[in-house]
Amino acid sequence: KNVKPDQWVKLNLGTVGFYRTQYSSAMLESLLPGIRDLSLPPVDRLGLQNDLFSLTSMRKSRSL
């Protein structure tokens, strides 16, 4: 609702939910600055990597 165009949005913040999140390419691109500058917390970076690996392994997503 109040997210600016240059801000990233991470679903399942804290990686506390027991589900996979499949991001669109645009949403993944918007997360890259948070990954690069480490403003995305380590647990969320790991959760994102885990989701991407699992979804790619299941052929539900393409790798970046």
Q: Compute mean pLDDT per 10 residues along the chain, 64 residues long, and list them.
A: 79 87 89 94 95 86 58
pLDDT at 13: 85
Q: Give this prediction's pTM.
A: 0.74
pLDDT at 61: 61
Burial 2-35 (b: 16+ CB within 10 A, else e): eeeeeebebeeeebeeeeeeebeeeebebbeebe
pLDDT at 62: 63
